[in-house]
Amino acid sequence: MEAARRLTTADGTRLAYWLWQAGPERRRLLVLIHGAASNHTRWSEFLEQTELKESWDVLRPDMRGNGESLVRGRLDTEIWSRDLAEILAVEGYPSGLVIGHSLGAQIAIHFAARYPRRTDGLVLIDPVFRRALIGRKRRISRTRPLFLLAIWMAHALNSLGIYRRHIPNRDLKDLDRETRKELESARSKEEIAKKYSALGPILRYMPTANYLQQLVETVGPLPDLAAIRCPVLVLLSAGITFADAEINKQEIERFPRVEVAPIEANHWPLTEQPAQVRRAIEEWVEANYPTGRL
């Protein structure tokens, strides 16, 4: 029911994505976008368990620079948005309902701003608003020039042939299940947060320059939210520590057609509360899009 696909983009980049279709009849499309240092397997449990696949086709891309779409070079929201538009065009979908987590939410917002006619709606899981940032994420935003310098240096080394020749893939479905067992065994949320944000494991599975670019893009400026006219659902983790809650609320309210659903999680709700996230998305989609047919 799900087929692995490959696409060579207009600039010659080879992208990998997975498309779920229940049959030959084309239906409306859900687009599931993973976050930074991630890949399409972040959505494996959602796809397995959601009832939405009975009435929607489902696209899970490895975004450029991640997983099986691994490349070295420039990465930003403009490029990722263009990649998504190319995939939709090649597969014959005029538009999609775009669901993204963290950096994936940032990409979804930029895609909606650049391609409004291709965007049926947005589900944003823990989007990042620059004005609301506090702590480490705020420091990253303020030291952007240093990150850009580090990225330039890494690319310069790559151009000289200095880079890792093999980077393994990572099945995040297995990681998520292991992490939930640790949470159930009373390991502290602080320990889990450290595990998920530890640089060693992250950089084992992706080029350093790619990760740095994704960090920069996660805390980068967003387009005018008031100009995004499609329906928007924001799933907001209650335990977020990198953003001011009141400013987050003010930023979210700039979307003209927005609903907010709280999730009892930190910044990894797809790992910590997959059933709660799935139900919130399903209820909102079924209320706003009663049929999945084109």
Are 117 and 96 in contact, with CB atoms under 8 Å apart?
A: no
How far apart are the C-alpha atoms of 147 and 267, rounded to whole Å?
23
- pLDDT of 49 over the 60 cut: yes
> Can you give the pLDDT at residue 294?
54
What pLDDT is recorded for position 260? Answer: 97
Strand partners, 20: 2, 58
pLDDT in tens, 97-137: 999 999 999 999 999 999 999 999 999 999 999 999 988 78
133-147, 210-224, 243-257, range with the lowest pLDDT: 133-147
- Residues in contact with 38: Cβ distance below 8 Å, sequence separation at least 6, in sequence order: 66, 101, 104, 172
d(CA 73, CA 40): 20
In this predicted structure, the answer to whether residue 229 has a pLDDT above a threshold of 90 is: yes
Q: What is the mean pLDDT of residues 59-86?
A: 97
Contacts of 97 (CB under 8 A, 6+ apart): 28, 29, 30, 31, 56, 119, 120, 121, 122, 123, 285, 289
pLDDT score recorded for residue 85: 98
pLDDT over 70 percentage in the chain: 94
Residue 145 has pLDDT above 60, yes or no: yes
Tell whether the model's pLDDT for residue 194 goes beyond 70: no
Provide the CATH topology of domain 2-288. Rossmann fold (3.40.50)
Taking the C-alpha atoms of residue 9 and residue 31, their distance in angstroms, rounded to an integer, is 18
Q: Is the pLDDT of residue 184 over 90?
A: no
For residue 293, pLDDT over 90 is answered with no
Where residue 181 falls among pLDDT bands split at 50, 70, 90? confident
Residue 125: per-residue pLDDT? 97
pLDDT surpassing 70 at residue 151: yes
Annotated domain spans of the chain = 2-288
Tokens 């790992």 belong to 271
Residues 88-95 have a mean pLDDT of: 97
| Global pTM exceeds 0.85 | yes
Across the chain, what does the average pLDDT equal? 91
pLDDT above 80 (res 191): no
Q: What is the pLDDT of residue 180?
A: 80
**Which pLDDT value is given to residue 203?**
86
Looking at the chain, the whole-number percentage of residues with pLDDT higher than 90 is 74
Judged against a pLDDT cut of 70, whether residue 187 lies above it is answered with no
Closest Cα partner for 230 from 261, 249, 256?
256
- Taking CA atoms, 145 is separated from 4, 19, 142, in Å, by 38, 38, 8
Confidence grade of residue 179 (pLDDT, cut at 50, 70, 90): confident
Read off the pLDDT of each residue in 78-84 and give the average, rounded to a whole number: 98
